[in-house]
Amino acid sequence: MKTLNLVQAVNDALAVALEAHDDVVLLGEDIGRFGGVFRATAGLRERFGEERVIDTPLSEAGIIGTAVGMALYGLKPVPEIQFSDFIYPGFDHIVNELAKYRYRSGGQFPCPVTIRTPVGGGIRGGHYHSQSPEAYFIHTPGLVVVCPSTPRDAKGLLLASIRSPDPVLFLEPKPIYRKAVGEVPEGDFEVPLGQARVVREGGDVTLIAWGAMVSLCEEAAARIAPSGVECTIIDPRTLWPLDIDTIADAVSATGRCIIVHEAPRTCGFGAELAALVQERCFLHLEAPIRRVTGWDTPFPYTLEHAYLPSVERVLDAVEATIAF
Amino acid sequence: MDDSPRQILDEEGRLRPGQSVPEGLDAEALRALYALMLRQRLLDDLMLTLQRQGRIGFYGPATGQEAAVFGSGRALAPEDWVLPALREGGVALMRGYPLRDYLAQCFGNALDVTHGRQMPCHYGSRAQHQPTLSSPIGTQLPHATGVAWAMKLRGAATVAIGYLGDGATSENDFHTALDMAGRFALPAIFFCQNNQWAISVPVSVQTAAPTLAAKAAAYRMPGHRVDGNDVMACYAVTREARARALRGEGPTFIEALTWRMGAHSTSDDPTRYRDEAVTEQWKARDPILRLGRFLLAEGLQDEDGLQALRESLGREIREALAEVEAAAPSVPLGTMFDDVFASRPPHLAEQAAEAARFGVPTPSH
């Protein structure tokens, strides 16, 4: 074990993957000589060479489009999109090509690309450095969508993603790139895709959160525990395909469910989670499922902390759900 | 800059002064090319008929463009990769894609290895290194760059060819694909079939660029113009581009000038937007007629031979068609849920079970 922050854990996973697999190549803007704007690829070009840690021209569609071609041929490309807010020029390649190649070729051309991209706000990044676009990709058949909340999960899930036969969108919560610090196994290790993590167990209410919202929920749960309200916190880790069983078991046990995410509320992943939970837990529910989310506005700059879920908003939802 | 397209065979099927049959095309190869082009013509005519009869849902023919398709395709090695646009199903065929699979894809029936998941003409075959066509224009070009990149990283002595039409040169993907291929000196060929029409939009409306080949210069890549109805010239220029790529000198852009003799697809009507008198003029430049005249004049084939060939190709197509059309008209319902992921996750297993309760309904209209 060693103690790493989340972005160091990403770097560690990439180094392990490059070491273990000749087919793994990294490509993106500023990832080579500079080591990435968040330092996620620091030192990797020096270690593995500029042919495998590639500084590309500034073209998100080109980065993802060429990664698709590399994967068709048999490589395991791991492109980085510098901010998920800039992923949209590559959106067509993700939703129409990457996600569909296996399907439309009748299984002849699988396309295992792992796209890494930072998500989330609270870093004074404004509209174009703060978005959480997971719902667009979860809505797309054929994509695996992953979002870790701890350094350990970041390393283990990233290695599992790179080895997955399916395309993966790997969303890295940048507000906690350095804030999240923890023990990480050394060397090669995986956290299996498709398994949620029970972060905390309590009998009164289930909070579902991912990325930077997990630690927010932990803080809320710790703050309300002295008043006798105990929270279960579930981190799906793999947002899609979802480990709905772990979530449904937790909600059935507590009878109350609150979903917390940064993205706008309407058609956010919380909407799908609420639908899935009520389908499975209807007779166990003691109160309506609540959502604590970003508002249905563009992501603001000055007012970002009024936009993002806060401990206070989570606690308010917990109290309202308990009192219902 | 000399913008005139390269030509080896003139419109009468005679070698241009100073030109000779390109290296690599012996008499047998020329006869084989003729047969491939003619088979494609017969196939396209038949498929258009089938579409009008409601037996298939759509078709995009290569009529008039056979020289560009088969001339370029002939220059490739079996291990090269082909990233196609709409009209390069013939490239797969000439590289061993079974005619039966080609037809079954158009019918989308039980014999279709892609389980009827896409409209007709969306061919693809792993054995022929030809990834399955997608409809959005130009997306295959960054893929071709990526395949070429992977070849270079692996040290393979092969190339990737990305096909496109004239309209695709306006797409972002075109520019990023050429930019990245040029920047990393990748073994890629971008072969543009400039049939001069993107559905209803002519090239003159598409771009202010003086030629499409001119666009390559910005990426420090040779941009060649070639007579797209001259199979020898299409072959020669592609062969040279391939050799250049294998020498490590990077990608080449080829603009093959041709004419879309029919509609863009069975879904449009060119009489509404273009003067078909020009199409009549292009009939004199027919690529099959041109190679046929050469074969006859050179004594490589005689009239009886051409007639026998036409009959045997017609027979081959009709037999394949009969076999494919006799297959079960639909695909098993469960295949709809396969290949979304490598293995079927629980939510798709649930949905497959739900769909199975209702089976496959017959459309009421």
Q: Which residues of A touch B141 (CB under 8 A)?
A: 65
Tell me how long chain B is: 365
Q: State whether B220 and B357 are in the same domain.
A: no
A208 shares a domain with A164 = no
pLDDT tens column, A239-295: 999 999 999 999 999 999 999 999 999 999 999 999 999 999 999 999 999 999 999
Radius of gyration of chain B (CA): 21
- Using an 8 Å CB-CB cutoff, list chain B residues near A57: 176, 179-180, 183
Residue A172 C-alpha, separation from nearest chain B C-alpha, in angstroms: 22
Q: Residue A35 in contact with residue A45, Cβ under 8 Å? A: yes
Residue B14 lies in a domain: no
Cα B264 to Cα B278: distance, rounded to the nearest angstrom: 16
Give the pLDDT confidence score for residue B329 in this predicted structure: 86
- The CA–CA distances, whole Å, from A156 to A94, A120, A148, A199, B310 equal 23, 21, 9, 16, 62
- Contact (CB<8Å) A241/B151: no
Boundaries of domain holding A39? 2-184
pLDDT digits (tens, 9 = 90+) for B81-98: 999 999 999 999 999 999
- Tokens representing A267? 């058609």
Name residues whose C-beta falls within 8 Å of residue B355's C-beta, 6 or more positions apart in sequence.
B333, B336, B337
Q: Which residue of B has its CA nearest to A97?
A: B134
Chain A residues touching B81 at Cβ < 8 A? 72-73
Are A124 and A255 found together in one domain?
no
Same domain, B259 and B182: yes
Q: What angle do CA A7, A66, A164 make, to 5 degrees?
A: 55
Residues A132 and A269 in one domain: no
B340 contacts in chain A (CB < 8 Å): 102-103, 141-142
Are A47 and A150 members of one domain? yes
Nearest to B6 by CA among B207, B157, B214, B230: B230
Q: How far is B17 from chain A (nearest CA, A)?
A: 42
Same domain, A20 and A79: yes
CATH of the domain at B173: 3.40.50.970
Residue B330 banded pLDDT, cuts 50, 70, 90: confident
Question: What mean pLDDT is predicted for residues B210-230?
Answer: 97
**Cα(B135)–Cα(B112) distance, rounded to whole angstroms?**
18
CB atoms within 10 A of CB B327: 15
Q: What pLDDT score does B363 carry?
A: 74
What's the first-to-final CA gap in chain B, in angstroms? 57
The fraction of chain B above a pLDDT of 90, given in percent, is: 93
Asked if B104 contacts B120 with a C-beta cutoff of 8 angstroms, the reply is no
Whether A284 is in a domain gets the answer: yes
Q: Evaluate if residue B104 carries a pLDDT over 60.
A: yes
The residue ranges of DSSP E strands in A88-211, in sequence order, are: 114-119, 144-146, 168-173, 181-184, 197-200, 205-209
Chain A residues within an 8 Å CB radius of B346? 241, 244
Q: Which of B131, B149, B151 sits opposite A66 (nearest CB)?
A: B149
Cβ neighbourhood burial of B175 (10 Å; 0-12, 13-18, 19+)? buried
Tell me, yes or no, whether B324 and B337 share the same domain. no
Confidence of residue B361 (pLDDT cuts 50, 70, 90): confident
Name the phi and psi angles at B45, rounded to 5: -60, -45
Distance from the B124 Cα atom to the nearest Cα atom in chain A, whole angstroms: 6
Is-contact A79 A28, C-beta < 8 A?
yes
B260 is catalytic: yes
- Residue B365 pLDDT class (50, 70, 90 cuts): low
A191 part of a folded domain:
no
Minimum Cα–Cα distance from B131: chain A residue = A109
Of B125, B144, B176, Cβ closest to residue A62 = B176
Chain B nearest C-alpha distance from A302 (Å): 34
* A245 shares a domain with A139: no
Identify the band that residue B3 occupies on the pLDDT scale cut at 50, 70 and 90: confident
From chain A, pick out residues whose CB is under 8 angstroms from the CB of B183. Answer: 57
Residue A48 placed within a domain: yes
Q: Considering only the beta carbons, identify the residue of A51, A66, A110 that sits closest to B142.
A: A66
CATH number at residue A254: 3.40.50.920
Contacts of B151 in chain A (CB under 8 A): 73
Query: How far from chain centre, in Å, is Cα A45?
Result: 25
- How far is residue A106's CA from residue A118's CA, in Å, rounded to a whole number? 32
Task: For residue B294, give both structure tokens.
Answer: 């050469």
For chain B, list the strands marked E by DSSP: 81-83, 160-165, 188-194, 197-198, 201-202, 223-227, 252-257
CB atoms within 10 A of CB B22: 20
Partner-chain contact A166 B144, CB within 8 Å: no
DSSP class of residue A74 equals T
| Catalytic residue numbers of A, as ranges | 129
Q: Give yes or no for residue B1 having a pLDDT over 60.
A: no
Angle A17-A20-A26 (CA atoms, 0-180°, nearest 5)?
A: 35
Find the closest chain B residue to A100 by CA distance.
B340
Query: A166 and A212 share a domain?
Result: no
Residues 6+ apart with CB under 8 A from A237: A146, A147, A148, A149, A153, A157, A191, A195, A196, A197, A210, A243
CB A259 within 8 A of CB A288: no
Q: Are residues B205 and B305 in the same domain?
A: yes
Report the complex ipTM.
0.97
- A270 and A295 assigned to the same domain: yes
Number of domains present in the structure of chain A: 2
Q: Are residues B362 and B225 in the same domain?
A: no
Distance CA B42, CA B46 (A): 6
User: How many domains would you assign to chain B?
Assistant: 2
CATH code of A42's domain: 3.40.50.970
Contact between B139 and A166 using a beta-carbon 8 Å cutoff? no
Q: How close A318 gets to chain B, by Cα (Å)? A: 29
Strand, helix or coil for residue A117 = strand
Give tens-digit pLDDT for A182-225: 999 999 999 999 999 999 999 999 999 999 999 999 999 999 99
Please tell me whether residues B212 and B78 are part of one structural domain: yes
Is A61 in Cβ contact with B341 (below 8 Å)?
Answer: no
Rounded Cα–Cα distance for residues A227 and B325 (Å): 73
Nearest CA in chain A to B137: A92
Amino acid at B140: Q
Within this chain, do residues B253 and B360 fall inside the same structural domain, yes or no?
A: no
Can you give the C-alpha Rg of chain A in angstroms?
19
Whether B104 and B185 share a structural domain: yes
Indicate the average pLDDT of chain A: 98
Domain assignment present for residue B11? The answer is no
Q: Which two tokens stand for residue B321?
A: 């068609």
Find the range with the poorest average confidence among A106-115, B60-69, B264-273, B296-305.
B264-273
Residues A41 and A91 in one domain: yes
Shared domain check, A132 and A26:
yes
A66 and B342 within 8 Å at the Cβ level: the answer is no
* Contact (CB<8Å) A108/B113: yes
Amino acid letter for position B284:
A
Residues with Cβ within 8 Å of B320's Cβ and at least 6 positions away in sequence, in order, are B99, B100, B103
* Separation of alpha carbons B159 and B175, rounded Å: 19
Q: Does any domain span residue A308?
A: yes
Q: Does B280 share its domain with B200?
A: yes
Rounded to whole angstroms, the Cα distance separating B53 from B173 reads 37
For the ranges A25-29, B265-269, B342-346, the lowest mean pLDDT is seen at B265-269
- Domain match, A206 and A169 both: no
Nearest to A241 among B139, B149, B345 (CB): B345
Asked if A241 and B347 come within 8 Å (Cβ–Cβ), the reply is yes
A291 is a domain residue: yes
- The answer as to whether B208 is a domain residue is yes
Integer Cα distance of B351 and B344 in angstroms: 11
The pairing of strands A168-173 and A114-119 is: parallel
- Please tell me which of the candidates A25, A56, A105 has its beta carbon nearest to residue B153: A25
Residue B341: its chain A contacts at CB < 8 A?
102, 142, 144, 166, 241
Beta strand residue intervals within A43-135, DSSP E:
53-55, 76-80, 114-119
Whole-angstrom distance, CA of residue B13 vs CA of residue B41: 18
Please tell me the predicted confidence (pLDDT) of residue B297: 97
- A190 in any annotated domain: no
pLDDT value at A152 more than 70: yes
Kindly state whether residues A32 and A150 are assigned to the same domain.
yes
With respect to residue B103, please indicate whether it lies within any of the assigned structural domains. yes
B7 within domain boundaries: no
Q: Which two tokens stand for residue A297?
A: 């506005």
Do B344 and B305 share a domain, yes or no?
no
Residue where a domain terminates, one of A162, A184, A206: A184
**Per-position DSSP letters for B218-271, written without gaps between them:** GGT--EEEEETT-HHHHHHHHHHHHHHHHTT---EEEEEE----S-SSTT--GG
Q: Count of A–B CB contacts within 8 Å?
A: 147
Judged by CB atoms closer than 8 Å, whether chains meet at B146 and A70 is answered as: yes
Banded pLDDT at B2 (limits 50, 70, 90): low
Q: Which residues of A touch B132 (CB under 8 A)?
A: 101, 104-106, 108-109
In a domain, A192, yes or no: no
Q: Is residue B21 part of a domain?
A: no
* In a domain? residue B307: yes
Note whether B57 and B205 are same-domain residues.
Answer: yes
**Domain contains B50:** yes
Say whether both B281 and B359 belong to one domain: no
Q: Which domain holds residue B313?
A: 27-331
CA distance, residue B216 to nearest chain A CA (Å): 17
What is the pLDDT averaged over residues B272-296?
A: 95
Q: Quick check: is A136 in a domain?
A: yes
Tokens coding B122: 């969306």
B264 annotated active-site: yes
Mutate to test the interface with B, among A18, A94, A108, A164 (most CBs of B within 10 A): A108
Residues constituting chain A: 324
Q: Which of B180, B219, B337 has the highest number of chain A CBs within 10 A, making it the mutation to test binding with A?
A: B180
Whole-number average pLDDT of chain B: 96
